[in-house]
Structure 1
Amino acid sequence: MKLPGDDHALSPHTGYTRDHWIAVADGLLAAAWRWATPGGARLDLPGPPSGSGVRSDGLEGFARTFLAAAFRVAGEAGKDPHGWLERYAGGLDAGTRTPGRDDAESWPLIGDHPVAGQPMVESASVALGLRLTRPWLWDHLAPAVQDRVEAWLRGALRHVPAPNNWYLFPFTVAGFLASVGRADAETAQARDRALELLDGWYRGDGWYGDGDGRAFDHYNGWALHLYPVLDAHLAGGPAPFGPRLREHLASFGLWFGGDGAPLHFGRSLTYRFAAASAVGLGAVTGDTPLRPGVSRRLLSGALRYFLDRGAVDEHGLLSLGWHGPHAPTVQHYSGPGSPYWASKAFVCLLAPPEHPLWTSTEEPAPSETADTVLALPAPGLLLQATRDDGVVRLHNHGSDGVRPHEAEAAAGDHPHYGRFAYSTRTGPTARDNPADNHFAVVVSGARSVRRRIHPLGAGQADGWGWAASWHRPVFGSGPATVPGLRVESVTVVRGRDELRVHRVLGAPPGASVEETGWATAPGESVLRPLAGWTGRAEVRAPHGTAFVPWVSLSRLTGDVDGTAVFVALAALGGEAGDSVASVVEEGVDVGWPDGFAVRIRFGPLRVDGGP
């Protein structure tokens, strides 16, 4: 991948300009097309297949790279010096001649989510790519090819999506069909249903749930905001969802560290710099509170972060992982073409060269400007950033990834949702290794996991903030739950300090508790007992994380029978403050040497702090 030289006058933080984005898009496309079928209908990229099989994976490679090509060509007002659209036109023709046939070119048919649903995801990228490039691609296809493409796309309107952001895939297909004069009752129904669901999923603070449950992660930006806001922008009409995107971006800028890394939290993290797509979308549509120089800092910072750390392999392809390949980051539905949902970040190229996004001088990211604490009560999240190291930490008291119909113990530990804290510099440990940032009740040798999270509130004041939740511990062996067992948890942050308070209720005789700290190399984090704990040790996680191949964790232990309170102070990247805690009948009082104190009271929960 050949990139222009860095421009540190215009982009003092990243050196990247719009020309870098174009060069990256061209480089990724050129590498991917080396693996195309003879007719260009599928890009059968090398690597282990997804659960949907290699034919679906080949369609995924075509559709997701098409999205990058579409943003790249549309952003240049149709200029296509490498002839990308000609290749995709040939693929559209070849793939839709005999859909469903088991041969080298034919696209798989779109089915219901549980049966053969993955092509529905890819139909949205195909439809959006066609809508973006209509004057230069769709309008030049033969009428028979147009009809075949429409027939294949309509499968998305006639089958059942997954009960989450998937409803925006038929919405996007219907939007394209309407834009080329092929709207009907079927397209209207798909759009109305998606918008109805989207309204029901909106929880406030700029955040949607990914379905009826409490999954809040990067899907909020790269799916739930992107599809409806971009649809309105391309239609040239009012943007009813623009204010929600603006509200989201008011806090989302803090989801990126000073090194450009997005928070390593939630599923599908192999999409990497797609995490910045909402930032680019807001700059293009004007639905953003971020200054253009800040938006470009976030966008280019995320792009460069991954390029500099090996996300592109020796073949020029995006690997399945985070920096480089990393199996625990990958979901079962991900195949070799999956990482190319990163193409969504190229939405920023819809801003032309003279747009302020590209002409303004880069400014620092929010994580680089000051120590910041930000509470998001709607999703139940608490953000904590420290300026000196640029690290952002997310304290999770509301996002669990448990679908409404699932039993709490159905899937066991979920490393990318169940932990109490995540950051831009650490990843969760893998399953079957000691869990980082975890509070467990241990009964008969079995450690509990946290599945469904019940938020109790979140708030912030000058220089500090808090978030709280409760959960029912569930176990992978023995009885799934213990009747009456409950854990109430509060996190208070100030500077780099993290006060972690847990009240256990209903613990059976002989039970014990454990709490772990950050997954780092030895000496790079602290977990200090303040009250309730009787043991302290270091444990190892040999499988490491997405960031480093081997880590150790601090672990505190204690005994519990009935009700008890446990208090610890943690810090990532340095020493924790010399706080002192005292447990009282109603809760906990904690004081710092500078006179600041926090008072936590349970039942009902109340958190107060100040000098």
Structure 2
Amino acid sequence: MTTPPSLELPAEDRVLSPYTGYTRAHWEATADGLLRAAWRWATPGGALLDLPGRPSGSGVRSDGLEGYARTFLAAAFRVAGAGGEDPYGWLGRYADGLAAGTRTPGRDDTESWPLILGHDVQGQPMVESASVALGLRLTAPWLWDRLDPGVQDRAEEWLRGALRHTPAPNNWYLFPYTVAGFLESVGRGDAETARARERALGLLEGWYRGEGWYADGDSRAFDHYNGWALHLYPVLDAHLSGDTERLAHYGARLREHLEGFSLLFGADGAPIHFGRSLSYRFAAGAAVGLGAVTGHTPLAPGVSRRLVSGTLRYFLDRGATGPDGLLTLGWHGPHDATLQHYSGPASPYWASKAFVALLAPGDAPLWQAPEEPAPSEGPDRVLALAVPGLLVHSTRADGIVRLHNHGSDHLRPHEGEAEVRDDPHYSRQAYSTATGPTAAANVADNHLAVEIGGRLSERRRIRPLGAGGGDGWGWAASWHRPVFRPGPPMAPGLRVESVTVVRGSHELRAHRVVDAPAGSRVRQTGWATGPDDTVRSALHGLYGWESALPDGQRAPQGTAFTRWAVVPRLTAAADGTTVLVALASLTGVTEDTDEAPLSGAVREVRVAGDTVEVRWADDGSLTRIGFSPLTVDHLRTEG
């Protein structure tokens, strides 16, 4: 794969960076290339960058501000990291744009920025205010300090809109926190800024659940927002302010987060394809870079660079920028199913957060230590993250990382399960660095559906039951109430209890369907793959399943990884309480790929009441699952 022609990158350095070839100079050149492409679409005064494409739900003017703010963040990291050196004059452009945008905020003209209002009133400008504020803070000696006092006053007044209106009930509270941090850093703090910061940090404490993981609000949404928002803003703020006490507090959480999160990158550099806002792409590496910059990381410098450069290169090599050099809305290239309603042409430029790594100077270990293998390039690993309810496993042979979701659902506490539409980026049982979920209108991959009267159920609110494991194996479990659409949303008493146990690339999927109405059926699907993929999906029924679809079920809309996909499927009848057991796998196709069918992986399966016992063929070990009460054990010896 080759770098897009719009990016002028230096020669690779395979001595210093044997895995990616990328150095600090590649990061600077990438930032410059992205900025160069985006500024071709600036308004005459530089206040708005009106990138081409379909508008977001917030409208074209908000999208233009988004273009300014998010690219400013890239420019700020690039110039601040170079000690103020600005060979292409980026800061002069952003200074002009700031002056033009804040002259008459809210006016319907070519340059004026929209006002910052509450999250429920075209609230996107509040998001962008944080990027503007952080960009100004990072570059204060070379931009803010040289502005006319009148422009400074206008900018402050516009930014204070973020302090005076209500954020969305999640990571949005860190946007006024960041605005307030900037104002205080330039001597413009007061009771209003103090309240905004106190409020945000108070909420953050309530959202912290342990093991380095925050929920994104009063919910169970655990995803990439941990790294590119919930850790980024407080840790970076403490670092920039020199507040050693706060940095130690939030930095310790970042360190613990990276213990597990660092495994969520495949050997090819791909982040795990899970959660919302995936068009931010290589921003997934922001937490890794921030840990290296602040010293709050368990990773060696060469491992950190391997991860951040790996994910940057992964996307540049796979069409993240179009022929015009602009980041596209999607994953590799454009992909509508990856997007949310708030996604606009400039939304992908939150990827700019990855450039936080440039705050480490050129002589820092992050850039000078030789690259070392990523965690997924070491021995096969299984990691149970009990707090978010996630089970992660990687296999060295193909470099794929898989995540089994038994705890993250993105429903807010006040929302009824029937009120919210199915979200493929949270509701599926499993995700990976090599596959994406199928679109909502197609067959759902990695899903256990109950079928009643021709209607298939969806999984909404996920109730975690636990996670754990040992050397070379792990498990996670949850239960949910199947939701049906259209018609009555739920069947009385119906629930599905699910347990996933992994060993190597094998995924044991056991379910207990409780109180299924007479005449019900169930469907289990596996990983979605396509004809152009280099991965193979398999699904084999071990107990309770009656039939399999030989060629799988087709998903014509494909995934973020393939234009067209097929999904393996099992079906069975369900009446009352039914226990079902299957074995699934996702493997990379290489010269050394094991062609042995899944049917040979298990020697024996026994089900007695609510207890499942599976004897593995390779070493005779036994996995025992009890549903009532829930117990999961793995015995390594015969008998």
The answer to whether the aligner puts 1:528 opposite 2:540 as a matched pair is yes
Match of 1:113 in 2: 119
State the distance in 2 between where 1:308 and 1:440 align: 37
The answer to whether the aligner puts 1:32 opposite 2:46 as a matched pair is no
**Counterpart amino acid of 1:564?**
T
State the distance in 2 between where 1:509 and 1:10 align: 64
Match of 2:277 in 1: 268
Task: Check whether the contact 2:329–2:339 (CA below 8 A) recurs between aligned residues.
Answer: yes
**Counterpart amino acid of 2:154?**
R
Task: Check whether the contact 1:412–1:476 (CA below 8 A) recurs between aligned residues.
Answer: no
What is the deviation of 1:404? 1.1
Task: Check whether the contact 1:368–1:390 (CA below 8 A) recurs between aligned residues.
Answer: yes
State the distance in 2 between where 1:7 and 1:181 align: 44
Task: Check whether the contact 2:579–2:610 (CA below 8 A) recurs between aligned residues.
Answer: no
Task: Check whether the contact 2:318–2:333 (CA below 8 A) recurs between aligned residues.
Answer: yes
The 3-state SS of whatever aligns with 2:466 is strand
Q: Report 1:483-502 matches (<5 A).
A: 483-502=492-511
The 3-state SS of whatever aligns with 1:182 is coil
Match of 2:591 in 1: none
Match of 1:585 among 563, 585, 609: 609
Match of 2:558 in 1: 544
State the distance in 2 between where 1:410 and 1:12 align: 50
Task: Check whether the contact 1:374–1:465 (CA below 8 A) recurs between aligned residues.
Answer: yes
**Counterpart amino acid of 2:400?**
V
Match of 2:374 in 1: 365
State the distance in 2 between where 1:278 and 1:502 align: 35
Match of 1:387 among 389, 396, 399: 396
- Residue by residue, what CA displacement relative to the aligned partner does 1:405-425 show, whole Å, maximum 9, x if unpaired? 111122222100000000000
- Residue by residue, what CA displacement relative to the aligned partner does 1:521-546 show, whole Å, maximum 9, x if unpaired? 36811100000000100110000000
The answer to whether the aligner puts 1:302 opposite 2:311 as a matched pair is yes
Match of 2:590 in 1: none
Task: Check whether the contact 1:280–1:348 (CA below 8 A) recurs between aligned residues.
Answer: yes
Match of 1:559 in 2: 573
What is the deviation of 1:196? 0.3
What is the deviation of 1:578? 1.9
**Counterpart amino acid of 1:249?**
L
The answer to whether the aligner puts 1:47 opposite 2:53 as a matched pair is yes
State the distance in 2 between where 1:416 and 1:570 align: 20
- Residue by residue, what CA displacement relative to the aligned partner does 1:35-91 show, whole Å, maximum 9, x if unpaired? 000000000000000000000000000000000000000000000010000000000
State the distance in 2 between where 1:379 and 1:217 align: 9
| Larger deviation, residues 19-28 vs 523-532 | 523-532
The answer to whether the aligner puts 1:321 opposite 2:333 as a matched pair is no
- Residue by residue, what CA displacement relative to the aligned partner does 1:116-137 show, whole Å, maximum 9, x if unpaired? 2100000000000000000000
State the distance in 2 between where 1:35 and 1:131 align: 25
The 3-state SS of whatever aligns with 2:54 is coil
Match of 2:487 in 1: 478
Task: Check whether the contact 1:412–1:449 (CA below 8 A) recurs between aligned residues.
Answer: no
Match of 2:293 in 1: 284
Q: Report 1:239-254 matches (<5 A).
A: 239=247, 240-254=249-263
- Residue by residue, what CA displacement relative to the aligned partner does 1:369-393 show, whole Å, maximum 9, x if unpaired? 1100000000000001000100000
**Counterpart amino acid of 2:337?**
P
Match of 2:635 in 1: 610
Match of 2:621 in 1: 596
Match of 1:399 in 2: 408
What is the deviation of 1:586? 2.7
What is the deviation of 1:232? 0.1
Match of 2:24 among 9, 18, 22: 18
The 3-state SS of whatever aligns with 1:416 is helix
**Counterpart amino acid of 1:581?**
V
Task: Check whether the contact 1:450–1:473 (CA below 8 A) recurs between aligned residues.
Answer: yes
**Counterpart amino acid of 1:545?**
T
Task: Check whether the contact 2:211–2:256 (CA below 8 A) recurs between aligned residues.
Answer: yes
What is the deviation of 1:436? 0.3
Q: Report 1:86-485 matches (<5 A).
A: 86-238=92-244, 239=247, 240-485=249-494
Give RMSD over aligned pairs: 0.8
- Residue by residue, what CA displacement relative to the aligned partner does 1:413-450 show, whole Å, maximum 9, x if unpaired? 21000000000000000011000000000011100000
| Larger deviation, residues 337-346 vs 585-594 | 585-594
The 3-state SS of whatever aligns with 1:279 is helix
State the distance in 2 between where 1:341 and 1:412 align: 26
State the distance in 2 between where 1:178 and 1:32 align: 31
State the distance in 2 between where 1:261 and 1:404 align: 32
**Counterpart amino acid of 1:590?**
V
Task: Check whether the contact 1:500–1:567 (CA below 8 A) recurs between aligned residues.
Answer: yes
Runs of 4+ in 1 over 6 A off after TM superposition: none
State the distance in 2 between where 1:585 and 1:214 align: 32
State the distance in 1 between where 2:294 and 2:440 align: 41
State the distance in 2 between where 1:434 and 1:445 align: 14
Task: Check whether the contact 2:459–2:483 (CA below 8 A) recurs between aligned residues.
Answer: yes
| Larger deviation, residues 406-415 vs 464-473 | 406-415
The 3-state SS of whatever aligns with 1:428 is coil
The 3-state SS of whatever aligns with 2:263 is helix
**Counterpart amino acid of 1:4?**
P
- Residue by residue, what CA displacement relative to the aligned partner does 1:341-365 show, whole Å, maximum 9, x if unpaired? 0000000000000000000000000
State the distance in 2 between where 1:304 and 1:597 align: 42
Q: How many residues align?
A: 611
State the distance in 2 between where 1:6 and 1:404 align: 49
State the distance in 1 between where 2:302 and 2:497 align: 42
State the distance in 2 between where 1:39 and 1:114 align: 29
Task: Check whether the contact 2:530–2:558 (CA below 8 A) recurs between aligned residues.
Answer: no
State the distance in 2 between where 1:362 and 1:578 align: 36
- Residue by residue, what CA displacement relative to the aligned partner does 1:219-243 show, whole Å, maximum 9, x if unpaired? 0000000000000000011112000
Task: Check whether the contact 1:39–1:91 (CA below 8 A) recurs between aligned residues.
Answer: yes
Match of 1:570 among 563, 580, 584: 584
Match of 1:68 among 50, 74, 77: 74
The 3-state SS of whatever aligns with 1:370 is coil
State the distance in 1 between where 2:412 and 2:458 align: 16
Identity %: 71
State the distance in 2 between where 1:419 and 1:345 align: 27
| Larger deviation, residues 54-63 vs 595-604 | 595-604
State the distance in 2 between where 1:477 and 1:536 align: 26
What is the deviation of 1:581? 1.8
Task: Give structure 1 stretches of 5+ with no counterpart.
Answer: none
What is the deviation of 1:114? 0.8
State the distance in 2 between where 1:569 and 1:352 align: 49
TM-score (normalised: structure 2): 0.95
**Counterpart amino acid of 2:540?**
R
Match of 2:526 among 514, 517, 521: 517
What is the deviation of 1:314? 0.8
